[in-house]
Structure 1
Amino acid sequence: SRFREFPGLDLTEYASLYCLPLYVYSNSTLVGVMELLYTREKGFSDEEINFFTTLTGILSTTIQNEELQGELRKMNLELEQWVTEKTEELRASEERYRTLVESACESIFVLAENGDIVFANDQASRLTGVPKFKLIHKNLLELFVDPSQPKGILSEAFQGHESLRQGELKRADGTVVPVDVIAVGLRLMGKPFVQSVIHDTSSRARLEKLLAEKEQEIAALKAKVSS
């Protein structure tokens, strides 16, 4: 069975056999055997033995290196497949996120740590009156009458806290809109960002003003009836 790779080999034709292990001494690994067959009886000199021993050492290391290279290629292929799968999953996840954000009825911004806008949805453009491609070159604080109003929420969001602030947003046409600003930490592509949702509270402010006026009217009527 030792010579199964050479089915036509007739051992009776050989008078001498010298076997040398293909042994890697650095990690005590046997990777094979080299056999030398001679048709005549032969004794081996020290010089020949040293030569064949050196040769088997070179062959052992070469074979093991090739096996290691094969394992490395396999691991690299598996790693590439894993990275490809994770990249596709991440891309799909970000695409779902983008779709949800774009279709949202609220104004949504994604901000860098210093407040620079790296993404804004269509509603954000409508609220501010600024085209989306121009919003990307702005800082969120520039959009407010008083930049200090939303400033604190950035650091709080990066620290893992969800924050809410009220402020006045200045639109591109100069009109001022009362807003609620909500911010929460967000990770995209492994990097920290802040997602900020800005809600126009104009309608609520008008209703509150109308309610206050009605309460004043009712109080006036009650006072008139009492008198």
Structure 2
Amino acid sequence: MDNCSVISSFGIAARREFTQKDIRLAKAIAGHAASIIENLNLVNAVRASETRYRTLVEQASDGIFLANAERRYVDVNPSGCAMLGYSREELLSLRMDDLVFPEDILVMPFRVDDLRSGKTVVVERRLKCKDGSAVPTEISAKLLPNGYMQGIVRDISERKEAEQALAEREAYFRALIENSAEGVAILDTEGIVRYLAPSEIGLTGYTPEDVIGKSVFQFIHPQDRLRVEQIFTEGASVPGAVRSAEYRLKRKDGELRYFEIMGHNLLDDPHVAGIVVNYRDVTERKKAEQALQESQSRLQAVISTALNGIVTVDSEHRVILFNPSAERIFGITADKVLGQPLDMFIPVRYQKNHSDRVRKFGETGNSARKKGLLDSLYGRRANGEEFPL
């Protein structure tokens, strides 16, 4: 028969016919033999199962602890011993409480009621090593049918170190963002604000609550809005693209300010999944630029209308400015003069003396002239004609 072993055989020989009693006796003997065989198979199966279980326990990389109802350890595998630095015999003399720090028990008591209800309890807990040090662990505990508590213990030291490093890094960058003079925001592909750094309050007066969930474009000056939208749309379609722009924004208090913005498309980065925008207030710079332009315009107007010829040279004595009066005096237009050496307007016999004088002025800044110093200096027109300066 399948799955059966022959342990013995017997034969019955008789010259008379079997009676019903003989048949019943034979059936009883056969049934008893079958029961013995079944029990033997069951014992062998149990032994094989126990062997497999013991092999798994002994070779498991996680620590496996078994404690009785009194919380005393009755079994532990080699990984559990190595994790805590104890021998198996030493651990079997301890109770669960001996491996836990008292202060941790106050914060996180043993969840015995959950175990009794049939739940598998997973917790993170520090365990005390033989040398007194602590090892962070993740414990998966379960109450077995025989009343024993089984705990599968994993050393999570590396994970905790990585989490700590990540937390420190996040705190560092959070401090940078929150204390930065620049604003930081994260937008989706439609320009909806998903994140806004607290530094925004100092820049625009708006709080994150005022802005998050709204379109960033509604805060931009109407005359700048379309241009910024076009730049944003183009950058949002190119992974990794970086785009910049200047625009005007009305602060919450109504003041109009100029901002410079730079957006970085990080939609493909799963940690960001958005467009990171850095922006800063450049109003004072714009005012300074405007003031400089106005000053240059006024200066250009003075130079252009001056009756005296005005010629400006760089450090190499090349002409960089030549006003209309100079064009009239020297008989040549500015477009033919710019970039040329100044000596083209000085007679050869005066060139060295004039070059030395200009060089000393560049070195000292002293523009004082003694009376009569220029009496012997002449200029030369484009046609070669000399004239006193």
Same fold (TM over 0.5): yes
One-letter code aligned to 2:217: L
Aligned length in residues: 183
Partner residue of 2:44?
Answer: 56
Partner residue of 1:120?
Answer: 196
The CA deviation string for residues 14-72 of structure 1, in whole angstroms up to 9 with x for no partner, is xxxxxxxxxxxxxxxxxxxxxxxxxxxxxxx6754553233222342355346547838
Partner residue of 2:262?
Answer: 182
Within 2, Cα distance between the matches of 1:121 and 1:112?
16
Could you tell which deviates more after superposition, 118-127 or 205-214?
118-127
Partner residue of 2:251?
Answer: 171
Higher helix proportion? 1
Question: Are 1:136 and 2:217 an aligned pair?
Answer: no
Normalising to structure 1: TM-score of the pair?
0.63
Normalising to structure 2: TM-score of the pair?
0.39
Partner residue of 2:287?
Answer: 206
Find the partner of 1:156 among 222, 230, 235.
235
Could you tell which deviates more after superposition, 215-224 or 134-143?
134-143
Partner residue of 1:218?
Answer: 299
Mapped contact 2:62–2:155 kept (Cα < 8 A): no
Identical columns (%): 17
The CA deviation string for residues 156-194 of structure 1, in whole angstroms up to 9 with x for no partner, is 367112221222222213333222111224599834233
Structure 1 position 119, deviation (Å): 3.4
Structure 1 position 98, deviation (Å): 0.4
Within 1, Cα distance between the matches of 2:233 and 2:61?
45
Mapped contact 1:125–1:135 kept (Cα < 8 A): no
Partner residue of 1:106?
Answer: 182
Partner residue of 1:27?
Answer: none
Q: Is the partner of 2:165 in helix, strand or coil?
A: helix
Higher strand proportion? 1
Partner residue of 2:346?
Answer: none
- Residues 78 and 110 of structure 1: CA distance in aligned 2, closer, same or farther (over 3 Å): farther
Cα RMSD between the aligned structures?
3.6
Within 1, Cα distance between the matches of 2:193 and 2:176?
18
Within 2, Cα distance between the matches of 1:131 and 1:145?
19
Q: Is the partner of 2:273 in helix, strand or coil?
A: strand
Q: Is the partner of 1:180 in helix, strand or coil?
A: strand
Q: Is the partner of 2:214 in helix, strand or coil?
A: coil
- Structure of higher CA gyration radius: 2
Within 1, Cα distance between the matches of 2:187 and 2:245?
16
The gaps in structure 1 that reach 5 residues or longer are 1-44
Within 1, Cα distance between the matches of 2:45 and 2:280?
75
Mapped contact 1:154–1:183 kept (Cα < 8 A): no
The CA deviation string for residues 78-133 of structure 1, in whole angstroms up to 9 with x for no partner, is 48555544333322221111001112111222334443334333432122121243
